[in-house]
């Protein structure tokens, strides 16, 4: 081969490698060679061998991860040898004198300690899963270039079930998914095992996620057919060595659709037997099956109420089928009905609160963070704190149905943090949502946090590269709901972008400000549910014709000549009355209600002066415009990083930021123009005027929006 050809070939392969290396596939588990030679040499001295005591599948995963992580970080292969300095990992009980009894006694299920002892870095888990999590923690520290010479770490997960909810359909479409198709290839399972399944499991284990519901809550009974169960079992086999249990969504009418029965009445013994047999079959294929997630009598899904039975009767019937095997039922409280005239905000509470105390021990009630539906900002659901006798678990949305979908950069950790830190006053001051979720407030052993996944077949998993930060944040907060969003942003940034500290700080700042920016340009001051119908993409405050009133925007914003917002005090729907009185007090008065929740609870006159002395209308305008300025700043900040970030990831984020800015302006102009017809007040003169009139925005038609069949 002549030299020129050789050089060309080399260049081709190098560029291919470069592209591959930076397409975002590796998420936060990049394990690139540490560029700082000082840090690298130090680590090399400290780690000359890796010893993992034990050989079970989970411990093998731990060993493999340590080996590949260290090979990457240090550029050399390290395994078991007789050097003096190195890593020893294992289950504490099997490590003899290396782990003192006082350390062991602090460990709980899935927990671990990491410390230095006799030239060694010791990772000791309470159990195998704990050991695996400890190894990932150590690798995380190395990715952050931390000092490994004075380690004294104790971690026990604060929440027991840390689970992703995939809204993945069996035809591989994903409901509210913005990152391609479902990663579960049902056609080729169980024989073809996509390597992505293992990487999925690794990524989840690295942030402590220990469960995956692989099917949509709008469920299909087919998944319980034998061949599908075998496919699910193949996934379970891939997940198991990473400590992840598989769960399935249970369509309540499965006994009819699949079993050919005439009814799915939970009190009918034949129906009960059908579920018992099904559970037995599932456990014969998947011995560590986690259980069922159920959406019942909600948005057209079948449920116990079809037979005049309660949610408790339905949930308990399924729970009893799973109980002999240790499975659980996660029963969703996302219910509202058009037969009930009450404010939709109130319906889940009205339905579930009276059932407190009626659920079996292995039922957990899964509640969305807010009372309506994953809006950019919601007050916490009044169900948190209202069911002391029932384990209530959190459902967050990681996919961004209402937060810019696949094109906006919105660091959700800030929103999760805001929710978890909210004081419900359910048992007096300090009754935060985090304390309900971790079981400490009402003394529950069964605890959980679910996140609606944002994962798809896109090469970088989440479509928008920064969507990875939301997946990461969910896992970290499910492990420890008290973590600060800013720490999570920092961790993720350090692991995902090994650039200069200054550049990392810029990325952290972008993430920190992004949620507020989105709230400002979409739904400031407590506006909610004013997006376009069906696909929920883009603004649609004018939406007034839908099969149900509470799917329209006008139902929620209630704009009229007098003012804006939904009165949920005693003069209105009195939804506030569902909260503890100390909670209520903060919101009940227009004068003292925090501005970010004002229109959630009050119908406020357009010209009313808010605490800052400006009218409601002016505040509304200024917030919308502020949102645009915040996005423009994010763009500028990202641009300043161009020289430090690999071109592929830089460009990808840049293009999305460009779309975000355009769409933020669209949101602002459409909403301000719409509300102006009611306020009849001028947009402050110092602000740029909207580009088009209202008719233009109302007529926009975009059949390519994700989540709908293109039509005129
Ligand atoms: O927000 C609504 C979504 C539906 C979803 C439903 C739910 C899975 O628009 O797509 O269905 O919530 O959470 O059940």
The mean per-residue pLDDT over the stretch 431-446 comes to: 98
The whole-number average pLDDT for the span 557-580 is 98
Which entry of 65, 110, 168, 401 is annotated as an active-site residue?
A: 401
Question: Looking at residue 4, what is its pLDDT?
Answer: 54
Query: Does the pLDDT at position 164 exceed 80?
Result: yes
Strand, helix or coil at 102?
Answer: helix
CA dist., res. 378 & res. 401, Å (int): 14
In this prediction, what percent of the chain has a pLDDT beyond 70? 96
* pLDDT tens figures, 348-391: 999 999 999 999 999 999 999 999 999 999 999 999 999 999 99
CB of 175 shorter than 6 A to ligand 1 = yes
Q: In testing the pocket of ligand 1, which one of 299, 367, 529 has its CB within 8 Å of the most ligand atoms?
A: 299
Catalytic residue chosen out of the listed positions 373, 417, 438, 623: 373
- Arithmetic mean of pLDDT over the chain: 95
Catalytic residue, chosen from 299, 487, 544, 642, is 299
Phi, psi of 323 (to 5 degrees): -55, -45
Annotate 522-551 with b (16+ C-beta within 10 A) or e (fewer): bbbbbbbbbbbeebbbbbbbbbeeeeeebb
Q: pLDDT, tens digit, for every residue of 600-651?
A: 999 999 999 999 999 999 999 999 999 999 999 999 999 999 999 999 999 9
Backbone angles phi, psi at 180, to 5 degrees: 90, -155
Query: What is the Cα–Cα distance from 132 to 61, expressed in whole angstroms?
Result: 7
**Residue 379 has what pLDDT?**
98
**Ligand 1 in contact with 336 (CB < 6 A)?**
no
| Binding site membership of 666 for ligand 1 (Cβ less than 6 Å) | no
Cβ–Cβ < 8 Å for 539, 697: yes
The domain spans of the chain are 25-155, 161-367+383-392+418-453+472-496, 520-566+603-699
For residue range 178-187, list pLDDT tens digits in order: 999 999 999 9
Cβ of 452 closer than 6 Å to ligand 1, yes or no, is no
Q: What is the per-residue pLDDT for 8? A: 47
Mutate to test the pocket of ligand 1, among 175, 529, 540 (most ligand atoms within 8 A of CB): 175
- Residues 515 and 415 sit within 8 Å (Cβ to Cβ): yes
**Burial (CB count <10 Å: 0-12, 13-18, 19+), residue 279:** buried
Instruction: Evaluate if residue 547 carries a pLDDT over 70.
Output: yes
In a 3-state reduction of DSSP, which class is residue 346?
A: helix
Q: Would you say 26 and 66 are in contact if contact means Cβ atoms under 8 Å apart?
A: no
Q: What is the 3-state secondary structure (H, E, C) of 9-53?
A: HHHHHHHHHHHHHCCCCCCCCCCCCCCCHHHHHHHHHHCCEEEEC
Pairing of strands 363-368, 328-332: parallel
- Atom in ligand 1 nearest the alpha carbon of residue 374: 1
Cα–Cα distance for residue pair 514/637, rounded to 1 Å? 12
Radius of gyration (Cα) for the chain, nearest Å? Answer: 26
Q: What are phi and psi of 245, to 5 degrees?
A: -95, 145
CA dist 646 and 499 (Å) reads 10
Ligand 1 within 6 A of 402 CB? no
pLDDT surpasses 80 at 690? yes
Residue 536 CA: nearest ligand 1 atom is: 9
* Ligand 1 center from residue 332 Cα (angstroms): 11
Q: How far from chain centre, in Å, is Cα 193?
A: 25
Confidence grade of residue 10 (pLDDT, cut at 50, 70, 90): very low
What average pLDDT does the segment 652-658 reach? Answer: 98
214 CA distance to ligand 1 middle (Å): 16
The response to whether residue 176 sits with its C-beta less than 6 Å from ligand 1 reads yes
Q: Is the pLDDT of residue 2 over 80?
A: no
Write the DSSP symbol of residue 143: H
So what CATH class is 520-566+603-699?
alpha beta
CA of 269 from ligand 1 middle (Å) equals: 32
Average pLDDT over residues 444-453: 98
- pTM value is 0.96
Out of 218, 398, 532, 540, mutate this one to test ligand 1's pocket (max ligand atoms within 8 Å of CB): namely 218
- Dump pLDDT digits (tens) for 62-81: 999 999 999 999 999 887 77
Residue 17, pLDDT above cutoff 50? no
CA of 407 to the centre of ligand 1 (A): 20
Could you tell me which of 349, 346, 352, 345 has the C-alpha nearest to residue 303? 352
Judged against a pLDDT cut of 80, whether residue 224 lies above it is answered with yes
- Contact assessment for residue 419 and residue 413, using Cβ atoms and an 8 Å cutoff: no
**pLDDT of the residue at 82:** 77
3-state DSSP assignment of residue 115: strand
For the CA of 395, the nearest atom of ligand 1? 13
Distance (Å, whole) CA 17 – CA 23: 10
167 within ligand 1 shell (Cβ under 6 A): yes
Establish whether 401 is a catalytic residue.
Answer: yes
Q: In angstroms, what is the span from residue 55 Cα to ligand 1's centroid?
A: 43
Q: Does domain 161-367+383-392+418-453+472-496 have CATH number 3.40.50.300?
A: no
User: How far, in Å, CA of 118 to CA of 102, rounded?
Assistant: 18
The atom of ligand 1 lying closest to the CA of 402 is: 1
Yes or no: say if 324 and 287 are a contact pair by the CB < 8 Å rule: no
Which letter does DSSP use for residue 300 in this model?
T
- Residue 218 Cβ < 6 Å to ligand 1: yes
| Confidence grade of residue 21 (pLDDT, cut at 50, 70, 90) | low
What's the pLDDT tens digit per position in 91-107? 999 999 999 999 999 99
Asked if residue 710 has pLDDT above 90, the reply is no
pLDDT digits (tens, 9 = 90+) for 470-529: 999 999 999 999 999 999 999 999 999 999 999 999 999 999 999 999 999 999 999 999
Task: Please give the average per-residue pLDDT across 259-269, as a whole number.
Answer: 98
Q: Which two tokens stand for residue 590?
A: 């227009």
pLDDT digits (tens, 9 = 90+) for 411-430: 999 999 999 999 999 999 99
Q: 25-155, what's its fold?
A: Chitobiase; domain 2 (3.30.379)
Q: How far is the CA of 302 from the centre of ligand 1 (A)?
A: 15
591 a catalytic residue: no
Preceding amide of 190 cis, omega within 30: yes
**Is the Cβ–Cβ distance between 156 and 110 less than 8 Å?**
yes
| Any ligand 1 atom below 6 A from CB of 373 | yes
Q: How far apart are CA 354 and CA 331, in angstroms?
A: 15
- Substitution site in 165, 166, 176, 217 for ligand 1 pocket (most atoms within 8 Å of beta carbon): 176
pLDDT band at 219 (very low <50, low <70, confident <90, very high): very high
Of the candidates 415, 535, 398, which has an alpha carbon nearest to the alpha carbon of residue 474? Answer: 398
């Amino acid at each position: 081969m002549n030299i020129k050809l050789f050089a060309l070939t080399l260049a081709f392969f190098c560029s291919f490698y470069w592209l591959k290396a930076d397409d975002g596939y590796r998420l936060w588990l990049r394990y690139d060679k540490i560029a700082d030679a000082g840090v690298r040499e130090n680590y090399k001295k400290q780690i000359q061998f890796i010893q993992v005591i034990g050989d079970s599948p989970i411990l093998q995963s731990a060993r493999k991860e340590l080996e590949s992580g260290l090979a990457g970080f240090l550029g050399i292969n390290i395994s078991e040898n007789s050097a003096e300095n190195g890593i020893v990992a294992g289950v504490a009980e099997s490590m003899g004198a290396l782990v003192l009894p006082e350390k062991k006694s602090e460990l709980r299920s899935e927990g671990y300690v990491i410390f230095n002892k006799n030239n060694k870095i010791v990772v000791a888990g309470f159990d195998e899963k704990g050991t695996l999590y400890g190894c990932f923690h150590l690798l995380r520290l190395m990715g952050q270039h931390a000092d490994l010479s004075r380690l004294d770490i104790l971690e026990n997960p604060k929440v027991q079930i840390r689970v992703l909810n995939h809204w993945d359909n069996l035809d591989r479409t994903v409901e509210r998914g913005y990152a391609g198709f479902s990663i579960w290839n049902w056609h080729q399972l169980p024989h073809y095992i996509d390597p992505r399944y293992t990487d999925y499991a690794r990524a989840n284990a690295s942030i402590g996620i220990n469960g995956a519901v692989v099917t949509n809550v709008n469920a299909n009974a087919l998944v319980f057919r034998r061949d599908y169960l075998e496919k699910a079992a193949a996934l379970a086999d891939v997940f198991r060595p990473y400590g992840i249990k598989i769960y399935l969504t249970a369509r309540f009418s499965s006994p009819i659709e699949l079993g050919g029965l005439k009814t799915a009445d939970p009190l009918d013994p034949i129906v009960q037997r059908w579920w018992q047999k099904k559970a037995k079959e599932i456990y014969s294929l998947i011995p560590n099956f986690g259980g069922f997630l159920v959406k019942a009598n909600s948005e057209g899904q079948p449920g116990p109420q079809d037979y005049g039975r309660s949610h408790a009767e339905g949930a308990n019937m399924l729970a009893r089928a799973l109980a002999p095997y240790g499975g659980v039922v996660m029963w969703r409280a996302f219910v509202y009905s058009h037969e009930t005239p009450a404010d939709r905000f109130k319906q889940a509470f009205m339905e579930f609160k009276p059932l407190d105390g009626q659920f079996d021990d292995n039922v957990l009630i899964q509640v969305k963070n807010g009372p309506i539906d994953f809006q950019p900002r919601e007050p916490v659901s009044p169900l948190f704190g209202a069911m002391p006798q029932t384990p209530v678990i959190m459902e967050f949305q990681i996919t961004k149905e209402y937060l810019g979908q696949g094109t906006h950069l919105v660091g959700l950790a800030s929103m999760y943090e805001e929710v978890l830190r909210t004081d419900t006053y359910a048992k007096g001051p300090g009754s935060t949502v985090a304390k309900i979720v971790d079981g400490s407030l009402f003394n529950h052993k069964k605890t959980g946090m679910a996140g609606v996944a944002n994962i798809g077949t896109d090469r970088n998993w989440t479509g928008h590269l920064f969507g990875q930060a939301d997946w990461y944040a969910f896992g970290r907060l499910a492990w420890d709901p008290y973590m600060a969003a800013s720490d999570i942003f920092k961790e993720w940034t350090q692991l995902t972008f090994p650039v200069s500290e200054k550049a990392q700080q810029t990325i952290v700042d972008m993430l920190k400000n992004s949620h507020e920016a989105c709230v400002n340009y979409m739904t400031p001051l407590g506006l909610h549910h004013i997006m376009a119908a069906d696909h929920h993409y883009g603004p649609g405050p004018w939406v007034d014709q839908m099969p149900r009133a509470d799917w329209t925007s006008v139902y929620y914003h209630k704009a009229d000549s007098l003012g804006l917002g939904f009165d949920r005090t005693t003069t209105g729907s009195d939804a506030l009355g569902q909260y503890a009185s100390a909670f209520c007090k903060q919101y009940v008065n227009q004068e003292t209600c925090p501005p970010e929740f004002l229109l959630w609870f009050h119908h406020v006159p357009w010209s009313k002066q808010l605490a800052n002395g400006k009218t409601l209308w002016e505040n509304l305008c200024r917030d919308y415009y502020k949102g645009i300025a915040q996005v423009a700043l994010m763009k500028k900040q990202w641009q300043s990083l161009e020289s430090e970030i690999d071109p592929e990831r830089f460009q990808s984020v840049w293009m999305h930021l460009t779309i975000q800015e355009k769409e933020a302006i669209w949101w602002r102009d459409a909403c301000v123009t719409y509300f102006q017809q009611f306020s009849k007040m001028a947009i402050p003169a110092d602000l740029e005027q909207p580009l088009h009139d209202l008719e233009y925005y109302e007529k926009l038609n975009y059949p390519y929006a994700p989540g709908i069949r293109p039509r005129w």
